[in-house]
Amino acid sequence: MAYELGKLEISEFFKKEIPNIQIPVVHSDPRLGLKDLQKLKQVNWDLVIGLSMGGVYATKIKSKKTVLINPGFGISEGIKTKFPEYSLGFKELENLPDQATNVLGFISMEDKLRSVTEPIFVRKYGKNSLINIPGKHVPTIEELSNYIIPEIRKFAKL
């Protein structure tokens, strides 16, 4: 039986599965998140992995390789109903230039945002860089173990 994971559980799972991974905090409030992004951009990263909203941040960071899991493309429009005060900040984030060049993406087949995110991903990075996987927006341990982690290991040569 699968259950939805929280951010902390996913972080702990990645720490266990990928040696030497660093998991910096990026605040949900884009006013703080944009400041976090400036700090992250000062590091030379080999691999950046972003899930959901973190996927949008990940595209703004220069790295050798980038992995996007259900990236929150179009978040500035989508967030208006839940947190309208965040919309302008996310619009600012979306308008920053993309730095990601070697990208692998995962989009879950049952993700409610798939109809928005998948066309944007394909336009930016190409269909050959995308892997559709089972599941919803937040992956389960099984989905991470069976689909995402093995492909990340191949992609990043871990």
Residue 2 lies in a domain: no
Residue 48's CATH number: 3.40.50.1820
Residue 83 lies in a domain: yes
Phi, psi of 103 (to 5 degrees): -115, 135
* Average pLDDT for 92-121: 94
Residue 18 lies in a domain: yes
For residue 6, what pLDDT is reported? 58
How many domains does the structure of the chain reveal? 1
Residue 39 lies in a domain: yes
* Average pLDDT for 103-132: 96
Q: Which domain holds residue 127?
A: 7-156
- Greater confidence, 7 or 11? 11
Whether this model's pTM surpasses 0.75: yes
Nearest to 10 by CA among 117, 154, 129, 143: 143
Residue 1 lies in a domain: no
Query: pLDDT (tens digit, 9 = 90+) per residue, 9-53?
Result: 888 888 889 888 888 878 888 889 999 999 999 999 999 999 998
Residue 106 lies in a domain: yes
